[in-house]
Structure 1
Amino acid sequence: MRAEFIGIGSELLTSLKPETNSIYISQRLEEVGIKLAFKTICGDHEEDIINALKTARSRVQLIIITGGLGPTDDDLTRQAVSKFLGKELIFKEEIVERIAGRYRMRGKEMPEINIRQGFVIDGSEIIPNPVGTAPGMWIEESGTYFAILPGPPSEMIPMFDSFILPKLREISPFYISKCVLKVAGLTESEVDSLISEISRRARSTNISVLASPGIIEIHIISRSKKSIEDSHSIMEEVKNKIKEVLGENVFSEGENLEEVVGKLLRERGETLSVAESCTGGLLSSKITDVPGSSDYFQRGFIVYSNLAKIESLGIPKDLIEKEGAVSQPVAKLMAKKVREISRTTYGIGITGIAGPGGGTPDKPVGTVHIAISWEGGEEHTKNYFFGTREQIRTQSAIKALDMLRRHILKEMKK
């Protein structure tokens, strides 16, 4: 079964209000094996809504509509759907009584305009609204299902979950299992190339590769008509094949990288401190986003200027003048000094050029040196990241965490 989402509201066609209902609905449809094939946004114009319904009915079996159920003149969803289906709007006194009761509970009289919300499409199943005033409707018509819901997410979500989702579970014949693999150290194209054969051969499974700065996510959704156990077995088989191909580049099945690194440090009784320049505290922020990170994270230095590096960490001035603040020797010494000052197992040093200015032909924007120091050893990488200032900073923090993760895994194998 395929579905189309129609969001109604002229405000959704402006920069004033982003449309978010379709994202939530798409996630919930995945759980019952229904593919959201199209998204359409309509302004508050009856003819446009009817045309959108005509198009949707020609290509999908489930149409989910949100918005346009309020009491004002520009709330036209009821009228448009009733005209499209050739059905009358009928008045339900009990709906108005419920709305009036909500107003009375707040010591107010219901505005006369709310009476409009008592009209519903003949033959529809009424969906109660536990939060707001506008009821929703469920209609089955000539092999097409229509779900009509209010636009505010605070109203739409509980109505969808309590009423629409159970309906869809009855309609959809599939059991769904899904998981997410998170990958670091590879690009989106590299991941796609490595798993393309698995994706091509996977039975009853959809595999999506999504990229964000420094992290690749592989979403695996498997389905079966037999049982939830069968869909889970299919998903596990695909997941394990991907993990085998990608190896240690897969760092989790859902956890963030900072959580994974934190667990490794805690399990080994090890500690960490960091010295950041171009990331400006972003690495420390990620680490301390994890509850309980004080078990292993001691401190973070933001040494943004050359003077800060000299005064806070004791980086020699002549080293900075000779090599430049963005260099391998400075990054290594930053990591070593912060480890020694903090008396931690590991120290991380990051120095680079996040842009948009400050680059040179020898050191373009995106050049970032990252170093890890431990007793008796160190590791360094010179990186060239692309993107905006924020993307470069994020990639730098992710790379630092991933370097530490890989080093600890290597130590665990000894």
Structure 2
Amino acid sequence: MSEQREPVDVVGIGADGWDGLSPAARRRVEAAEVVFGSRRQLDLVPPGAAERVPWPAPLLPALPELFAAHSGRAICVLASGDPQFHGIGATLARVLGPERLRVLPHVSSVALACARLGWAEQDVAVVSLVGRHPELLHPEIQPGRRLVVLSSDAHTPARVAALLVARGFGASELAVLGDLGSAAESRVDSTAGDWPHPEVSALNVIAVRCVPGPEAERLPRTPGLPDSAFQHDGQLTKRDVRALTLARLAPTPGELLWDVGAGAGSIAIEWMRCDPANRAVAVEHREDRAARITANAMALGVPGLDVVVGAAPEALAELAAPDAVFVGGGATAPGVLERCWAALRPGGRLVVNAVTIESEVLVADWYARCGGELVRIAAEHASPVGGFTGWRPAMRVTQWAVAR
């Protein structure tokens, strides 16, 4: 962190540029000795005495040194719209400390988009694709859902349209709003399936009303996705058991999960789908399965899943302390449960699914020593028996769940 303690002004600016700034915001910019911002943002303010410094790339690792280099000078940072909403303001609060910042927000592009469309802001889901994978949209693509998507560039709308079509939501309505708030403001409307523009204004926001087609598969955020949603080789926590497992893991926004012996990664993926702030590490010793986990995470909208190839407990040594741990494979390996239990944060949850006699004996011993819940889970599915229908039992699972 920089040693400089002078306040840093963070001024939100829209596509309407200098004319759209309040008198107070203009005074902050005019009083600065150095102004940071993107080249586009710097071009929006009139020439002045201040030195203009465009952001370097990559930005985040350069920030402490950049501010230290201008120590003692009056600094103003230009930000797009509301600096604290998917903006540089939140980043600077982490790097410099919130007490250093004096933030003057502008109207956000989301507020402008909803104003143009007559949408209630509280009823839309906002997804930023600025420098991020379009697949992050997958968890939000639900029937009737309204989305406001912050674009990365001129090609993002075409990518979003293609993703919707691939999901069976080609009838979804898209409105691409360009240069919101400026004299050059534009709007293009179409369905995803008929999207005609490979390129639009680079400064755009995409409004989507999700409309499923007859072939669209429902993939809700609630745990228990169909087994067919995952690529796997049989090493998969099945749907019914998976839903019960996640109920006991009790995902809370912002928490970190270890999925040990991850197989297809279904537990880690569904944990992350519960909330965009959730994080997970999938630990799998086989490289082919680890590759499937990565593919499943991308296809189901959680590209940020961290996949570690290695055997537990050695592969757990350098991981950040978890809020919850699931052991779906390898529980009998020496030291695995000891390492997982010791690593848990206070209040953390450990869930172990046992399907063999050896692993059942192990969890029964831990249950006797540490308490918690010990549950036998059995599911039967209807299937043909000749010309009739009978029940086919799935392999029973003994589940131990405990909080630290």
TM-score normalised over the length of structure 2: 0.22
TM-score normalised over the length of structure 1: 0.22
